[in-house]
A and B are shown apart, each in its own frame.
Chain A
Amino acid sequence: MSFVEYSEVIQDSDVAIIYLGHNSVMPVKVQHGAQTQTRYGVIRHSSDLIGQRYGSKVTCSKGGWVYVLHPTPELWTVSLPHRTQILYTTDIATITMMLDLKPGSVVCESGTGSGSLSHAILRTIAPTGHLHTVEFHQQRAEKAAEEFREHRVSHLVTVRNQDVCKDGFGVMGVADAIFLDIPSPWEAVGHAKAALKKHGGRLCSFSPCIEQVQKTAEALTDHGFEEINTLEVLLRVHDVRTVSLPLPDFGPDCSAHPEPDAMEAPPPAPSQTSINIKTTTPPRELPGHTGYLTFATKPRT
């Protein structure tokens, strides 16, 4: 198991994802002799997990069952322990494509936060790329580094505990892409420019407030970035359901001339009272605003 490569069978010290039901997933550190409590009962790692195929159904002690899934960054995003507000897959997917990320890309990121985006980046840039991630909070930086180790991706990432606005990313002229998710991204633009390759690269800044976006865009222009554009992506989920629509009753058929052979025909069957249709309904609440994504290109210098 690793977050950048699939495997078939669950092994000791893997991180697996337990699927409990719709929208309910939890990560589990697989260990000989360990047990995990779920609402369906206890899962015994040695007998229920180790040696089983990923994707299997596991019956818990109370008799209920769950599925064990191979971890992916997307599953991690919805199951990881939050230390900060995180980025969700919708934004992550947009960022990945708009920054032209692919195997071999070198990326600088700040702040690491809870590592949601970090894992997605690592998956995309493996096996030949590298992620330099900067987090100014010491415990969070340490926790992130620990998780990267457990997820078998630490060879692809360097975590630095420093303030990106003061000290930059710790590298110069190596990055293909920069990602900023900090309160004052305009203060880091200069460092971002220095970290990017001489040949140019892409940059993305994520900010919840439009005022932050304006300031960042101005800083980007001042530093010679081009193709500055800001966008927002929202995900709408459709609930598939069967809906029963009643048919109106206009009263019995009142035609004046009965047919001569009407006596032979059987009386008409009672008409349908409703029609079932399969359709989708939008969710009750509109999707929430996460943040604005500002992209830019650093030209060759």
Chain B
Amino acid sequence: MADNGDDEDHYRIKEGDYVVLKRGDIYKSVQILPKKKVIFEKQWIFLDNVVGCLYGNTFEIRSGGGLQLQNTKTTESPPDSKVAGTDNRNIIDDGKSQKLTKDDIEKLKDQGLKGQEIIQQLIENSATFSNKTEYAQDKYIKKKKKKYENTVTVLRPTCRILAMMYHGREPGKICHLRYDTLAQMLTLANIHANSKVLVFETCAGLVLGSIMERMGGHGTVVQMFPGGGPVRAGVESFGFPAHFYETLHEFPICHLNALEAGILDTFAKAPDAGEKESNMTAEEEDVLPGADPQGDSPEEQRMETVSADDKVQDQKKQEEEKRREAKAQEKKVKQEEKQRKLAAAAARLDGRNADGLVIASRFHPCPVLLRLLRFLSPSRPFVVYSQYLEPLIECYTKLKEQGGAVSLKLTDTWLRHYQDIVPAERPEFSRNSPPTRGRDCCRGVAPPPLKSSFISDVVLRLFHVLNPLYKNKIFTKNP
């Protein structure tokens, strides 16, 4: 069935949506807020005009930062597209090929010329352009596009886009986790709807969000977190609907010992004990244990001896008292909510029946893995990522010694991008050329070598492991 106009709404950008801005290979995650200035690629823009437009639309950045929907696809090739040289033996690099000066270009910009038009001008005023080979011309256009193109595309966030964005912009925040490695992890851990997954990550929430995306709001995710609170900025960027968050739980690892000893409830009831997550200010801390409005507080005793002149002051004190009570009440409600959430998360863990475990953090993976494995059902996969090899060797060795896991593999993935398979800037050319012939057969020249960049930079170590087994059994050796 073809889709009808009703679900068009699903594809429209709304205020408050989390989107990803894109230009070329540059991505940036932002929230659509009215009158909010957003900086993207050294330009200030306002996103107000995109509300109501469709995801995937491309916009021109007008002077002043407003966005205007790009009406037509302005990808006409420059007029000299068919004229090209064969090699660069006669091209002299004297820096004088371009007739337009920097000022000229600025004037064109001020006149309101679009990026495509500026590039056109540059080509027409270049003395050497028509002598360049086709590939050099493509490269030139690509370079100018990068510099003068003034457009931005608004995309719906997905794991793929956000993983590439984080890796390109802030790899340090995600432990340098490359997007193809993340892809391997999600598949190897068999992340799917209606399962229960444990996650321990310090990747700004990117790994957690990716897992939630692959679960589609079905099932349970328990995020184990170190320190005061779980970091989830990355999860917000996915723009999940509210009901996804009903499947998400969090549990502080500082309570793991208590949980396993069975004394978690009593431990958490004590107001000061271990409540590092609470946002208590010093003032409220003072109020909370002692704020008992029913008792005979000093204020009340003082009020009995007050004189008429102090009535205003009394009123003030009463109001202050009320505010303190309200705050204390709020605090109480928040604490109860926190208790409830903690109990809910603990309940999810108590069964020791998680279906998957994913670890990707700056912490030493070995103790984390050995501890969290206890919560995994038998015959379920787990995956550990580390930026460094040695900690994973330790994990591997310890697991082999203690038993309880099979099909352990320590791997990493290498990724290679191939460029310029078909240059997209020259649609006319590829349309006009006879379909059966390759690009250069008409000139009798062998196809050029494809450019590729082999990404093996941060040699990522992925610990690929399948299927822990029945843990507490006595393994008898093979006779």
**How far is it, in angstroms, between the C-alpha of A46 and the C-alpha of B119 when the chains are bound?**
75
Residues in A neighbouring B193, C-beta threshold 8 A: 4, 103, 126-127
A226–B421 CB distance below 8 A: no
The answer to whether the Cβ of A83 comes within 8 Å of any Cβ in the partner chain is no
Contact of A123 among B159, B190, B411, B424 (CB under 8 A): B190
The answer to whether the Cβ of B207 comes within 8 Å of any Cβ in the partner chain is no
Residues in A neighbouring B415, C-beta threshold 8 A: 231-234
A226–B159 CB distance below 8 A: no
Interface stretch among B300-308, B323-331, B464-472?
A: B464-472
User: For window 244-280 of chain A, which residues contact chain B by CB distance below 8 Å?
Assistant: 278-280
On whether A200 and B56 interact (CB within 8 A), knowing A5-B194, A72-B190, the answer reads: yes
B190–A73 CB distance below 8 A: yes
On whether A102 and B213 interact (CB within 8 A), knowing A19-B407, A94-B180, the answer reads: yes
Residues in A neighbouring B182, C-beta threshold 8 A: 97
Residues in B neighbouring A128, C-beta threshold 8 A: 216
Contact of B409 among A63, A120, A126, A237 (CB under 8 A): A237
The answer to whether the Cβ of B121 comes within 8 Å of any Cβ in the partner chain is no
User: For window 83-99 of chain A, which residues contact chain B by CB distance below 8 Å?
Assistant: 89-90, 92-94, 96-98
Interface stretch among A26-34, A52-60, A132-140, A158-166?
A: A52-60
Over the window 77-112 of chain B, the binary record of Cβ atoms lying under 8 Å from chain A Cβ atoms (1 yes, 0 no) is 000000000000000000000000000000000000
On whether A70 and B422 interact (CB within 8 A), knowing A97-B160, A233-B414, the answer reads: no
Secondary structure call for the A interface? mixed
Over the window 33-62 of chain A, the binary record of Cβ atoms lying under 8 Å from chain B Cβ atoms (1 yes, 0 no) is 000000000000000000001111100000
B406–A96 CB distance below 8 A: no
The answer to whether the Cβ of B458 comes within 8 Å of any Cβ in the partner chain is no
On whether A221 and B422 interact (CB within 8 A), knowing A55-B470, A98-B183, A233-B414, the answer reads: yes
A236–B412 CB distance below 8 A: yes
Contact of B188 among A67, A89, A226, A294 (CB under 8 A): A89
Most buried by B among A4, A73, A231: A231
On whether A96 and B186 interact (CB within 8 A), knowing A127-B194, A210-B450, the answer reads: yes
Over the window 1-17 of chain A, the binary record of Cβ atoms lying under 8 Å from chain B Cβ atoms (1 yes, 0 no) is 00011101000000000
Residues in A neighbouring B217, C-beta threshold 8 A: 103
| Shortest CB distance A198–B (Å) | 6
The answer to whether the Cβ of B438 comes within 8 Å of any Cβ in the partner chain is yes
The answer to whether the Cβ of A238 comes within 8 Å of any Cβ in the partner chain is yes
A238–B184 CB distance below 8 A: no
The answer to whether the Cβ of A167 comes within 8 Å of any Cβ in the partner chain is no
B218–A127 CB distance below 8 A: yes
Interface stretch among A108-116, A143-151, A212-220?
A: A212-220
What size tier do the contact residues of chain A reach? 35 or more
The answer to whether the Cβ of A75 comes within 8 Å of any Cβ in the partner chain is yes
A222–B431 CB distance below 8 A: yes
| Shortest CB distance A220–B (Å) | 8
| Shortest CB distance A94–B (Å) | 5
The answer to whether the Cβ of A193 comes within 8 Å of any Cβ in the partner chain is no
A92–B194 CB distance below 8 A: no
**How far is it, in angstroms, between the C-alpha of A188 and the C-alpha of B416 when the chains are bound?**
26
User: For window 329-381 of chain B, which residues contact chain A by CB distance below 8 Å?
Assistant: 355, 377-381
Interface stretch among B144-152, B254-262, B263-271, B389-397?
A: B389-397
The answer to whether the Cβ of B249 comes within 8 Å of any Cβ in the partner chain is no
**How far is it, in angstroms, between the C-alpha of A65 and the C-alpha of B470 when the chains are bound?**
14
**How far is it, in angstroms, between the C-alpha of A97 and the C-alpha of B416 when the chains are bound?**
16
| Residues of B participating in the A interface, judged by any CB pair closer than 8 Å | 1-3, 11, 54, 56, 158-160, 163, 179-180, 182-184, 186-188, 190, 192-195, 213-218, 355, 377-381, 389, 393-394, 396-397, 406-407, 409-418, 421-422, 424, 427, 430-431, 438-439, 447, 450, 461, 466-470, 473, 475-476, 478-479
Which 7 pairs show the lowest CB-CB distances between chains A and B? Answer: A55-B378, A103-B216, A55-B379, A93-B187, A97-B183, A173-B2, A54-B379
A–B pairs, 5, beta carbons within 8 Å: A57-B475, A102-B213, A229-B417, A278-B397, A300-B11
- Beyond the given A233-B416, A234-B413, could you list 7 further A-B residue pairs with CB under 8 A, ordered by the A residue number? A53-B378, A54-B378, A90-B413, A97-B182, A198-B3, A218-B430, A294-B421
| Residues of A participating in the B interface, judged by any CB pair closer than 8 Å | 4-6, 8, 19, 22, 53-57, 63-65, 67-70, 72-75, 89-90, 92-94, 96-98, 100, 102-104, 120, 123-124, 126-128, 172-174, 197-200, 210-211, 213-214, 217-218, 220-222, 226, 228-238, 240, 278-280, 287, 292, 294, 299-300
